[in-house]
Amino acid sequence: MPLYSILLPYKYRKMKRIHFSILIASILLIASCNRHISGQSATTLNQTETDASGNINLVGKSSRERLEQAPFNSWFSKNYAEYAIDSTTANAIKAHIKNKRFVIYMGTWCGDSRHEVPRMYKLLDYCGVDPSQIELITLSNSASAYKQSPGHEEKGQYIFRVPDLLVYEGKSEAGRIIESPVTSWEKDLLAITRKDTYTPQYSGAALLADLFHTTAFNKLELDSTALIARLKPITASRGQLHSFGNLLMSSGDTARAIFAYQINTRLFPADPVAWTTLASASIKTGNKAVAKACCQTAIGLQPDNKEAAAMLEQLGHQ
């Protein structure tokens, strides 16, 4: 008996074979498309990469369930179990979680992320936050994509320190906890969800990252003296803004990267590396005059600075 005689009701059995073949082909095509879409979804969630030491890290959109599996469960389960919730404060949060969305940025390679993210999840679990309200973005530790996600969900969010917990109400960010809470996860989250005044725990780079996110860039440029005054007490070393500038450069945000390098030279004017870094970035953007001046300053501070001398020679041949 032909296949269509089995699959179709009796009244349709007179359909020509060709018509039935087209129907079956259409069904198979749709099924094939659906399988392809499912496959795409599967590959975009819980992607992994292996670092130079052979360690596996998550990158991109990831799930809490994956953190509960090897090799990540060795630290996730332990730190989740050991965290003691401040139930009095956490109970107060419950009244403010409706219509909130929570986005966690972390690195599975990062010690602070390994310690703090399980605590975040335990608190959100206790408060009854639905899993659909939580999004987990894991960032790379590779040299070419440092603190970036394959889908670049972090773009425009100025994530410099990890972990970060961002709280949204609708499309607006209500606040963020950077790296670790100021007081405690419970009290900091209550302040944000209740819309109290809240200032995250800032390093110099984290403050600049937050200002890039919340303040018009031209205003920061105009108020650079005031910005220096805010950054100086919380910027312990040249390395903070140096690393932040490198992160911005690697993500293509050249203007803000150069601004970060410029601020660094004002915070640490006696550090020749701050000047050679700004010189190198200026060469990349075609600003030869600034690059030359920075190289000359670096050599004035360190006469045997080979990097600055090499850049000056390069500029002289251009």
Question: Is the same domain home to 302 and 253?
Answer: yes
Question: Is the same domain home to 39 and 59?
Answer: no
Task: Provide Rg for the chain, Cα atoms.
Answer: 27
> Could you write out the DSSP letters of every residue in 102-117?
EEEEE-TT-HHHHHHH
In a domain, 299, yes or no: yes
pLDDT tens-digit map of 155-179: 989 999 999 999 999 999 999 999 9
Question: Is the same domain home to 102 and 174?
Answer: yes
Q: Are strands 134-138 and 172-178 parallel, antiparallel or unpaired?
A: unpaired
Contacts of 199 (CB under 8 A, 6+ apart): 182
Q: What is the DSSP letter of 233?
A: G
| The token pair that represents 140 in the structure block | 């790379």
Average pLDDT over residues 203-213: 93
Query: Contact, 138 vs 58, CB < 8 A?
Result: yes
Question: Is the same domain home to 196 and 275?
Answer: no
Q: How many other CB atoms sit within 10 Å of the CB of residue 34?
A: 10
Question: Is the same domain home to 134 and 13?
Answer: no
Q: Residue 292: give the domain boundaries.
A: 222-316
In a domain, 210, yes or no: no
Question: Is the same domain home to 22 and 150?
Answer: no
In a domain, 215, yes or no: no
**pLDDT value for 186:** 98
| The token pair that represents 159 in the structure block | 């994530």
Question: Is the same domain home to 122 and 85?
Answer: yes
The Cα 57–Cα 55 span in angstroms is 6
Average pLDDT over residues 249-274: 96
Q: Indicate if the pLDDT at residue 213 is higher than 70.
A: yes
Question: Is the same domain home to 195 and 233?
Answer: no
Find the range with the poorest average confidence among 37-51, 79-93, 178-192, 258-272.
Answer: 37-51
Exposed/middle/buried for residue 53 (C-beta within 10 Å: 0-12, 13-18, 19+): exposed
In a domain, 209, yes or no: no
Q: Indicate if the pLDDT at residue 20 is higher than 70.
A: no
Question: Is the same domain home to 57 and 39?
Answer: no
Question: Is the same domain home to 35 and 60?
Answer: no
In a domain, 211, yes or no: no
**pLDDT value for 245:** 96
Q: Are strands 172-178 and 47-50 parallel, antiparallel or unpaired?
A: unpaired
- Share of the chain residues as helix, strand and coil, in percent rounded to the nearest 5: 60, 10, 30
Domain count, the chain: 3
Question: Is the same domain home to 36 and 129?
Answer: no
- Rounded to a whole number of angstroms, the distance between the first and last alpha carbons of the chain is 82
Amino acid at 48: T
What pTM value is reported for the model? 0.79
- Mean pLDDT (the chain) is 89
Alpha helices in 50-146 (DSSP H): 64-67, 73-82, 87-93, 111-126
Q: Are strands 134-138 and 100-106 parallel, antiparallel or unpaired?
A: parallel
In a domain, 63, yes or no: yes
Q: Please list the residues that pair with 135 across neighbouring strands.
A: 103
- Check which CATH number belongs to the domain holding 309 and give it: 1.25.40.10
**pLDDT value for 5:** 45
**pLDDT value for 17:** 52
Query: Contact, 240 vs 277, CB < 8 A?
Result: no
In a domain, 216, yes or no: no
In a domain, 272, yes or no: yes
Query: Contact, 211 vs 160, CB < 8 A?
Result: no
- Check which CATH number belongs to the domain holding 99 and give it: 3.40.30.10
Question: Is the same domain home to 27 and 53?
Answer: no
